[in-house]
Amino acid sequence: MTPARIAQPRSLHAKASVRAGARRATHKTKYTPSRQAGVCRAIKYALLFDCDGVIVETEELHRLAYNGAFEAFDLYAGGEQVRWSREYYDVLANTVGGGKPKMRYHFTETLQGTWPSSKAVDEHADVPENDDAQMALIDALQDKKTEIYKRIVEEVAEARPGVIELMDEALARDDVAVAICSAATRAGFDKVVNAVVGVERLSKFDVVLAGDDVDKKKPDPLIYNMARERLPGNLEAHQCLVIEDSVTGLRAAKAAGMLCLVTPAGSNLNAPFMDEGADFVVEDIVQGNVSASSLFPPTGTAPDFSQLSAR
């Protein structure tokens, strides 16, 4: 039996999954970012954006891409076709960071070590029984998932309300360093940020990290610790503000000793963020009155939440 042809899920074209009112990278703004070479910047703060769920609501897009990869590889485990429901993906999204760790968790924990067979990897459709074979399967699945995800992103991905404006306002401040720290693979991440943030705007960020840049995924704090080390200004952790949308990302930010503002999305809307240590939770950037001027007072020494509107 040969691998099934990749099926385009019906909901790939359903733009209803993308929040209404969002904007693409062509959006114009009144702010003119200043990151000129040679300019001396007295940096006092850092603003670090997660990508998936913060910049773009991508949770459902990722799930569709995973299922497209599973179908393309004709995956079966325990006699059943491998497929992730919305409810199950909600659990994964709030438990494990990164695509490959999600798949390994699914096969080792959820299925209790029942690995799937796939003729796309092994012509005899043998179940991978050692770490090398299992990793080869996960690598191949991730590559296919990324390929499908990039195609979906081109069609429907748009920025969440207020995010681009907040980026531009922060980039216009010489006292604020700005970064993006995503658990997504570089290929999929680049597709999202290039389409939604825009290449020109992205070039003005001080640090941009994807999941491939670190050995450990969120909730491990490595990606945020690495970002702080690379940011200009020699900042302390308490001067850094992370914007996250999930418990997994929140835990990573707090483990790095940073402040964390949460803008929930998708399956994370009712998660206990304050119990997990969030410094503030808003409905979204617009509804929460979030701006660089409200977060980073020119005369302050740490990010300020006093002017924000809690959800």
Tell me, what CATH number does 212's domain have? 3.40.50.1000
86 burial type by CB count under 10 A (0-12 exposed, 13-18 middle, 19+ buried)? exposed
Q: Is residue 302 domain-resident?
A: no
What pLDDT score does 276 carry?
A: 97
Distance separating alpha carbons of residues 207 and 222, to the nearest angstrom: 14
Q: Is residue 311 domain-resident?
A: no
Residues 165 and 185 both lie in one domain: yes
Residues 45 and 194 both lie in one domain: yes
> Has 50 been annotated as catalytic?
yes
Catalytic residue among 52, 74, 168, 284: 52
What pLDDT score does 280 carry?
A: 98
Q: Is residue 14 domain-resident?
A: no
Pairing of strands 80-81, 76-77: antiparallel
Is residue 129 classed as helix, strand or coil in its secondary structure?
coil
Residues 186 and 79 both lie in one domain: no
Contacts (Cβ under 8 Å, ≥6 apart) of 4: 71, 72, 73, 74
Residue 205 · residue 233 · CB < 8 Å: no
Q: Mark which of 128, 156, 184 sits at the end of a domain.
A: 156
Range of the domain at 279: 22-57+158-295
Sequential pLDDT tens for the chain (311 residues): 333 333 333 333 333 333 333 445 544 333 334 455 546 899 999 999 999 999 999 888 999 999 999 999 999 998 899 999 999 998 888 788 788 999 999 999 999 999 998 765 555 557 888 999 999 999 999 999 999 998 998 888 899 999 999 999 999 999 999 999 998 889 889 988 999 999 999 999 999 999 999 999 999 999 999 999 999 999 999 999 999 999 999 999 999 999 999 999 888 888 999 999 999 999 999 999 999 999 999 988 899 999 999 98
Residues 276 and 290 both lie in one domain: yes
Residues 169 and 250 both lie in one domain: yes
> Has 52 been annotated as catalytic?
yes
**Reduced to 3 DSSP states, what percent helix, strand and coil does the chain have, rounded to the nearest 5?**
40, 10, 50
Name the domain count of the chain: 2
What CA–CA distances, in Å, run from 262 to 28, 272, 280?
25, 11, 6
What pLDDT score does 117 carry?
A: 85
